[in-house]
Amino acid sequence: MAWTRKILRVDLTKGTCKSEPLNMDWAQQYLGQRGLATKYFVEEVDPKVDPLSPANKMIMATGPLTGTMASTGGRYSVITKGPLTGAIACSNSGGYFGAELKFAGWDMIVVEGKSPKPVYLSIENDKAELRDAAHLWGKTTWETEEIIKKAHQDPQIRVSSIGRAGENGVLFSCIVNDLHRAAGRSGVGAVMGSKNLKAVAVRGTEGVGAIKDPKAFMQATVAAKKVLADNAVTGQGLPKYGTQVLMNVINEMGALPTRNARDVQFEGAGKISGEAMHEKRPTDGKANLVTNNACFGCTIACGRISRVDQNHWSVVNSPKYWGASGGLEYEAAWALGAAGGVDDLDALTVANMICNEDGMDPITFGATIGAAMELYTMGVLTEKQVGIQAPFGSAQAVIELTRMTAEGRGFGKELGLGSKRLCDKYGHPELSMTVKGQEFPAYDPRGIQGMGLTYATSNRGACHLRSYTVASEVLGIPVKTDPLVTDGKADLVKAFQDATAVFDSAGICIFTSFAWSLADVQPQLASACEGEWSMEKLNEVGERIWNLERQFNLAAGFTAKDDDLPQRLKTEAAKTGPAKGLVSGIDKMLPEYYKVRGWSKAGVPEKETLARLGL
Amino acid sequence: MQKSLYIDANKCTGCLQCEMACSYENYGIFNPAKSRIKIFDFEHEGRKVPYTCTQCAEAWCLLACPVEAISIDAATGAKVVNEATCVGCKVCTIACPFGTVNYVADTGKVQKCDLCGGEPACAEACPTGAITFVDSDWTGFDKMRAWAGKTDNATRASA
């Protein structure tokens, strides 16, 4: 059965916490986590809602495999309408919080309304209550976690919270759990902040016991773990280098968006790469990387734990950054580094720590700094306006702008709105590297064509994690496709999107899909979950979830015009590398994609498509 | 040959597969709260450390128990709690210098690692080899081997 069959409904306006039975009919159609929470959200929330109003809701949802021995089975997602995009937001996080929520006996928490004053939600198994958080408001996520654990005299509590960025309405603020794992994108932290909800603290001791066929489940999980261990990416590359294994690879391919996508290769990539994190610093003889790290249940362990040189200029007076802490993932290293042309590894590590500490999405934030640096370089922004010098390549600027944005000071307030609003304000909308208002991450669509279609059609705004065609176009998983051509990418993107929706709804990490196909997930779900879970059904569930999200966005006011890439990617050819001379072929891929999806030329799902999916 | 759990904390990633395996083996449920092995996270040092009962030869928990509910499994050397006899007085939890015997409110008894009768589920589940089950008389074998490699003349010559 795997679901706890219980949801916790928290009405912040009234100050109530109530238990409800999970809608098992919906669970059979949408599985859990991303899919099931989206179904609840779509049923309960007006698509036109102002994301930061009390009428918006926020759902924290686990999947049926969360809190089990399935590898990586510790995920939860936050579903809401995103303030950065105005689209459906669905941000996925690891760490230990998701499993703890499940162990407390809850499949999901539906948060609605707005508290009249700052509160935090305290959950101890079936006991849930709202507690005063006046003393926590203004604190970082790190401080919040520590204070709550001390107050409850329970070091085993797991905490998910917002930092000052979420309180201050930074439109790309995230929700951080276990110090450095985050539901990162689309500004879900700002939604939480708008509701005066500072944190959710959970202690669960009931466990997950309702597995349909425990013996078959254990066999299935053991077999699937072996697949991960035997795979070169999940068994070797990710544990050793983390996602940072990609920095040099993508740079070589000429697909590393550099200096706000002016360039596709970064001369400093080697200095901020996964390999560089292993090298001993000349200054103190120690490596940036301390160790790798796993989230709950994960047998890959791609997480990075880093320590910077105590004498590095960025931390010399800040002992709180001297200890080991969450290190750079590829996206963060790219965004805080290459996107602004910065190659100081320790400075980027510190900027990333501040993002964890105060809850900011380093992808959108780094890309926004990149856009600001371009405006500065053009003379549109001045030192007086920014408060500091901010040319491309300045590590000092990255550190100072990160502090200013996290704390809501000066020009940081403008950066906190993301690159779209920033570039609009200063008369250069074309310099915002966004789709649906959200910055695209570390793969340049000129060098990896499938990622252009991925970004353009992602339901939560530009994102790599909705259809990671890099797996196919770069790594050859499951089959190698040519990154420089558009042919076949529509089918590829659809297949990845639908499969990803299933992974995201099951309670497991999408990184397993470097080694696992749906065929590896299916036996785990089928033995754990009540009902029939065939490959055919799972594929249909994935496609159903994708179309449901699409319908929400259409009802929210998005049209086919929003399925587009920044002008730069379509008109300014890559200057160097294998993709030299190429622009994105998005205009060719998009009509093909609509057709493959069973959508009209206007990007609207046809009646037959909806009927087939039961929508 | 008797075997012992051998823990190499350097290899631990903090995935908690061992905790789930332990609770599943003993209670048929995935529940770290009921695990007899525990992973400790020294987050500011970047260290994760598995910790459980070392099965002391002179077991103070066993000596302290007023109702003789803790006995030695002759096959494995494990100190095992007999739940039928245990009265939940918790004296053993005080006697144990390492904190590895703990009270379980649900059952009203204490629990500790019993080496799963000779096939510890935690070692089986550990994906990194941080927890292994090795010859009790040679728990130092891997360390010796590593140092032996460093003191070998051939290695020095090629270095």
Chain A residues with CB under 8 Å of B35 CB are none
- Both B30 and B15 in one domain: the answer is yes
Confidence of residue A147 (pLDDT cuts 50, 70, 90): very high
B65 inside domain: yes
Fold classification of A258-432 is 1.10.569
Chain B residues with CB under 8 Å of A68 CB are 20, 30
Q: Are B158 and B39 in contact (CB under 8 A)?
A: no
For the segment(s) A6-203, the CATH number from 3.40.50.2300, 3.40.50.720, 3.60.9.10, 3.30.460.80 is 3.60.9.10
Class of domain A439-613: mainly alpha
- Both B108 and B67 in one domain: the answer is yes
| Domain locations in chain A as residue ranges | 6-203, 258-432, 439-613
Average pLDDT over residues A244-256: 98
Chain A residues with CB under 8 Å of B127 CB are 71, 225, 229, 299
pLDDT digits (tens, 9 = 90+) for A444-483: 999 999 999 999 999 999 999 999 999 999 999 999 999 9
pLDDT digits (tens, 9 = 90+) for A46-92: 999 999 999 999 999 999 999 999 999 999 999 999 999 999 999 99
pLDDT digits (tens, 9 = 90+) for B109-153: 999 999 999 999 999 999 999 999 999 999 999 899 989 988 866
B10 inside domain: yes
- Both B32 and B62 in one domain: the answer is no
B156 inside domain: no
- Both B48 and B6 in one domain: the answer is yes
Which residue segment(s) compose the domain that B30 sits in? 1-52+121-134
Q: Are B46 and A307 in contact (CB under 8 A)?
A: yes
pLDDT of residue B159: 47
Distance CA A183, CA A189 (A): 8
Provide, for chain B, the percentages of residues in helix, strand and coil under a 3-state DSSP scheme, each rounded to the nearest 5.
35, 20, 45
Distance CA A87, CA A80 (A): 9
Distance CA A95, CA A107 (A): 17
Q: Which of A154, A180, A208, A213 to mutate to test the interface with B (most CBs of B within 10 A)?
A: A208
- Both B125 and B96 in one domain: the answer is no
Q: Would you list which residues of chain A are within 8 Å, Cβ to Cβ, of chain B?
A: 67-69, 71, 96, 99, 103, 156, 179, 204-209, 211, 214, 218, 225, 229, 290-299, 301, 303, 305, 307, 323-325
CATH classification of the domain holding B13: 3.30.70.20
Chain mean pLDDT for chain A = 98
Distance CA A401, CA A351 (A): 9
The answer to whether A296 contacts B27, with C-beta atoms less than 8 Å apart, is: no
B145 inside domain: no
pLDDT of residue A407: 96
- Both B97 and B129 in one domain: the answer is no
Confidence of residue B154 (pLDDT cuts 50, 70, 90): low
pLDDT of residue B151: 83
Residues 6 or more apart in contact with residue A207 via CB below 8 angstroms: A67, A103, B23, B27, B29, B30, B31, B32, B33, B34
Q: Is B78 helix (H, G, I), strand (E, B) or coil?
A: coil
Distance CA B63, CA A296 (A): 37
Distance CA A444, CA A464 (A): 11
pLDDT digits (tens, 9 = 90+) for B34-59: 999 999 999 999 999 999 999 999 99
pLDDT of residue A317: 92
pLDDT of residue A474: 96
**Number of domains chain B is built from:** 2
pLDDT of residue A210: 86
Q: Which of A291, A304, A308, A315 to mutate to test the interface with B (most CBs of B within 10 A)?
A: A291
pTM of this prediction exceeds 0.95:
yes
B72 inside domain: yes
Distance CA A80, CA A186 (A): 9
- Both B48 and B126 in one domain: the answer is yes
B16 inside domain: yes
Provide, for chain A, the percentages of residues in helix, strand and coil under a 3-state DSSP scheme, each rounded to the nearest 5.
45, 15, 40
pLDDT of residue A281: 96
